[in-house]
Amino acid sequence: MKILVLNGSPKRDDSDTMHITRAFLDGLQDVSQQDVTILHAIEQRVEPCTGCFSCMRNGGTCVHDDGMRGILDRILDSELLIWSFPLYCYGMPAPLKAILDRTLPLSSMAMRKVGERYEHVEQADLSHLHFLMICGCGFPNSRHNFEPAVEQFKLCFPGDHTIVTVPESPLFNVPEAAVVTVPRLELVRRAGRQYAEHGTIEPSLLTEIGSPMIPEEQYAAIVNGNT
C-alpha cells in the first residue's frame, strides 16, 4: 500500500506522537510490505491559504506556486493518508493546518447536501484514499480534550476515516516509562495489523489505546513535580 504520513509535530522524528505512528506502521508492515513516505510539515514550504477560492474555480490550481503542489500530487498518489500530530490548543499544529487548508484545490465550489450537512463536491478523484488520524496529547484526559480535533477530522474526511488518540504521550520519550509505553505501542502495532487486514480497528482496541497509560492523578503529580 502506498502510504503518505504528514507529521505535524515540529519535533520531527523526535515527536512523541511519531512513536505511535511508527508502531502503527510496524503493524501494517507485519502483514505486508508497505511503501511509506513521511513528510514533516514544519519542513514544507507551504504558504497559508489566501482564501481567494480561485483554486476551486479554475480547475484546481492554487495562486501559490510552492511546496503544496508536490504534496497534493503525493496525496493523490497515495492509498492511505496518515495525519500524525500532537494536540495543540485542541487542534492540529499550524504548519499541518496550513497543509489541510491548502487541500482546497481538491474540491470545487459546488456544494451538495449529504444527510444533514453540506460538503463541497470533489474536483479530484479521492475515491481510492483512506484517511487516518493519529494524535497524541500532553494532558492525561481524553474527554474534554481530543473532541475538537476528532470532530474536525470526521467532517473533513467523512468517507473513510479511522482515528487513534493517545493521552499522556510525552511518556513515549521517557525511557523510565517503558514499562507502560512498550505495551501501549504493542497495542498500537496490533491495531496496525488489524487495519492492514480488515481496513478497520476494533472499537474496544481503540478505547484501550486511548486510555491513560498511568492513572491521571499520578501523571499530573509527576508533571507538577509532586512526587
Using CB under 6 A, pick the residue from 27, 95, 136, 192 that binds ligand FMN. Answer: 136
C-alpha gyration radius of the chain = 18
Q: Which is nearer to ligand FMN, 105 or 167 (CB)?
A: 167
Using CB under 6 A, pick the residue from 59, 89, 175, 203 that binds ligand FMN. Answer: 89
Asked if 15 touches ligand FMN (CB under 6 A), the answer is: yes
Q: Which is nearer to ligand FMN, 103 or 142 (CB)?
A: 142
Of the candidate spans 72-80, 82-90, 99-107, 124-132, the one that interacts with ligand FMN by CB under 6 A turns out to be 82-90
Q: Following DSSP, what letter does each residue of 89-113 receive, concatenated? A: TTB--HHHHHHHHTTGGGEEEEEEE
Size of residue set near ligand FMN by CB under 6 A: 17
Q: Which is nearer to ligand FMN, 59 or 175 (CB)?
A: 175
Using CB under 6 A, pick the residue from 3, 5, 16, 23 that binds ligand FMN. Answer: 16
Q: Which is nearer to ligand FMN, 48 or 199 (CB)?
A: 48
The neighbouring-strand residues paired with 35 are 2
Of the candidate spans 27-35, 64-72, 97-105, 133-141, the one that interacts with ligand FMN by CB under 6 A turns out to be 133-141
Q: Which is nearer to ligand FMN, 116 or 176 (CB)?
A: 176
Write a three-state SS string for 114-153: ECCEEEEEECCCCCCCEEEEEEECCCCCCCCCCHHHHHHH
DSSP 8-state code for residue 225:
T
Using CB under 6 A, pick the residue from 3, 17, 44, 184 that binds ligand FMN. Answer: 17
The single-letter code of the amino acid at 144 is H
Q: Are 55 and 66 in contact (CB under 8 A)?
A: no
Burial of 139 per CB tally in 10 Å (0-12, 13-18, 19+): middle
Q: Are 160 and 129 in contact (CB under 8 A)?
A: yes
Asked if 162 touches ligand FMN (CB under 6 A), the answer is: no
Residues that bind ligand FMN (CB under 6 A): 9, 11, 15-17, 86-90, 136-139, 145, 169-170
